[in-house]
A and B are shown apart, each in its own frame.
Chain A
Amino acid sequence: MNKALRFRRKLAWTWAGVALVLLAVFYLAVRGGGESIALEGWVAHTQEVLGVIGDARLERARLVNRWLTNQLARNGAGTGGSDADSDKLREDVARLHTLTADNPAQQRLIAEVQGVFGKELTSLDGASSQSSAGGTTRSANSVPWAKTAETTARLLALFDHLEANERELLASRSRAVQANARVTRIVVVFAGLLTFLILGTAGYFIQREILNRGRIETGLRKAQELLGVKYEDQRQELGHAMDDLHGHIRARQQAEGEIRLLNTELEDRVEKRTKELQEANHELEAFSYSVSHDLRAPLRHMDGFSRILQQEYGTQLPQEARHYLDRVRSATTHMSNLVEDLLQFSRLGRQSPQLCRVALRNLVEEAQAETLSAPGNRDIEWRISDLPEVEVDTNLFRQVWVNLLSNAIKFSKNQSKAVIEIGSREEEGETILFIRDNGAGFDPRFADKLFGVFQRLHRQDEFEGTGIGLATVQRIIKKHGGRVWAESQPGQGATFYFTVPTAVPRCKTHETIGARA
């Protein structure tokens, strides 16, 4: 870019130089021509002057010649100043005077000629008037020939002088013309040479520029070709990459399609399973309804009729018969409890907890009231520390406390004074609650069996029970997202722990598969 600008500037300077030289040459030629014309005018003027001088010489000769002729004829009358030749001569001299007005040396000579010639004519006129007044006197003979010859010689010398002056002038003017022509020629030649030089230089630079440009153009073309090749290469590479990409995309689409298909299948399967589960659940519900209604009726009958027997015919029965009647009735009660607990446990599976904020203390007190209302609960020392507020299902959690409290009471029945302690502590975002008794405790080797349905760690004749209570507790705690565990040593009481997540969303329903539609 910069180079191109420089070149353009250079070119402009070159053109400006050429134009200047040509202008100078033109000016010089015009001036030289003008000078030549002027000089040639002067040459012609000089030649005219020379012509007039020649004429004047001829006039003088003719005048002298006639004078001599008249003299010979003694006719002095014709020598007067009014002679046509002398007039002509006078005219020529006057013309010479006019022509050489620019040359003072010539003017002086001409004035001398006029003076000499005028004196001669005056003397000639005086001589002729004397001869006419005296008649034919010899006065006419008095024309001094010697004087005329002298005058003539003088005039001729003057004319020679004049002519010599003019010729010198002519020579000098011719020399000037020649010098002028020479200068003009030199100028023209010099200008031509200069023009050639400038044009040559310019041509050289232009040529060089053209060559440069050609080289650059060739380079550019080569670069373009190279680029073209590279572009083609890259295009092909890109094409391959695109093909690969399309391949990947196709593969991915295929994979996605397969995944979709699998998902659909999975959804179908899940739907089917869900349906099956729902059906199973309905069956279970029907079963539990059936158990609740049909299984309990015969129990009630057994209990009812055996009791009527005891009440109305007891006194008539032997001791042994009354004992067997007692066995029938206690078996009936146990089975009734089993059925009741089992029903409650199965119902838990279908319920979803309704979470609400509640003070644990209230729930514990309600559970206390419920368990203490049962017969046979004796003096118990309660140690209940501050309990937090939690978000749980109130009914389910009351059930938890009822089960745990009745367990604690039951297993500490053999202590002279039962001590039941309830407390809580916060740990890593959850609340840990515990209930401790000073009762029979259990062998920690069997701790994992503690929460299983129908699992018991004590014989029925030691502590009666259905083996469902703790399973129910575990189920409720798990439904709340908590854990439950127990620590104990035989004879040293037992501690049951369970957790409640502290940050439980408010009044949110935990969905369960068995939730009733």
Chain B
Amino acid sequence: MTPQVYEILLVEDDPADAELTVHALRKERLANHIEVARDGAEALDFLFCRGAYSNRSFTNPPRVVLLDLKLPKISGHEVLRAMKEDERTRAIPVVVLTSSNQERDLVECYQLGVNSYIQKPVDLQKFQEVVRHFGMYWLVVNHLPPLAAYSGK
């Protein structure tokens, strides 16, 4: 049995936001397999193949991680830091998708090595447009490194 390939890991604690994002992605037919993590701890378990995700492998990374910043338990900043500090997860592109446009957050995220920072537009039409843009970019246009880049060796 071939392992499930996840195109996107969506880290979002708000079910409404998660639903709207998934709706937009589905509408643009960009992703079939979207994993949604409800907090930072769950996201780290998935990314580092532990706990409920211990049967996962580092060699089967998501093509892109959509990360909210304000999360219960472990914040988006901490998730980002953990990912970028570990060689096995460093190559995974991370797009911060947040309602915050605080300068401090922007600076911190880029210093931690974020690949993209998108502020969620209030307007749904704009949001759908934004989702289409970044989905097209990260899932179609962008080239990912070979799997060896995720081995950590």
Q: In the assembly, what is the distance between CA of A90 and CA of B60, in Å?
A: 199
In the complex, what residue of chain A is closest to B23 when comparing beta carbons?
A: A308
The residue among A294, A296, A300, A305 with the most chain B CB atoms within 10 A of its own CB is: A300
Say which residue of A292, A297, A300, A333 sits within 8 Å of B127 (CB atoms).
A300
In this complex, the interface size class of chain B, counting residues with CB under 8 Å from chain A, is 10 to 19
Decide: A300 and B122 in contact? CB cutoff 8 A. yes
Say which residue of B98, B120, B124 sits within 8 Å of A307 (CB atoms).
B124
Check A299/B122 contact, CB under 8 A, given A304-B127, A305-B20: yes
Decide: B102 and A300 in contact? CB cutoff 8 A. no
Say which residue of B16, B70, B98, B121 sits within 8 Å of A301 (CB atoms).
B16
Contacts of A293 in B (CB 8 A): 70, 98-100
In this complex, the interface size class of chain A, counting residues with CB under 8 Å from chain B, is 10 to 19
In the complex, what residue of chain A is closest to B69 when comparing beta carbons?
A: A293
Q: B-facing mask of A255-292, CB < 8 A → 1, else 0?
A: 00000000000000000000000000000000001001
Check A308/B17 contact, CB under 8 A, given A292-B101, A300-B99: no
Check A289/B102 contact, CB under 8 A, given A297-B14, A297-B17, A300-B20: yes
Contact of A336 with B by CB under 8 A: yes
Q: In the assembly, what is the distance between CA of A333 and CA of B17, in Å?
A: 17
Q: In the assembly, what is the distance between CA of A294 and CA of B16, in Å?
A: 13
Decide: B98 and A300 in contact? CB cutoff 8 A. no
Say which residue of B23, B70, B101, B120 sits within 8 Å of A300 (CB atoms).
B120
Q: In the assembly, what is the distance between CA of A333 and CA of B124, in Å?
A: 11
Contacts of B101 in A (CB 8 A): 292
Decide: B99 and A297 in contact? CB cutoff 8 A. yes
Within 8 A of A (CB), among B1-57: 14, 16-17, 20, 23
Say which residue of A292, A299, A307 sits within 8 Å of B102 (CB atoms).
A292
Known contacts A299-B122, A300-B120; 12 further A-B pairs (Cβ under 8 A): A293-B99, A297-B17, A297-B99, A300-B122, A303-B122, A304-B16, A304-B124, A304-B127, A305-B20, A308-B124, A332-B122, A333-B122
Top 8 nearest A-B pairs (CB, nearest first) are A307-B124, A304-B124, A301-B16, A336-B122, A304-B20, A296-B99, A293-B100, A300-B122
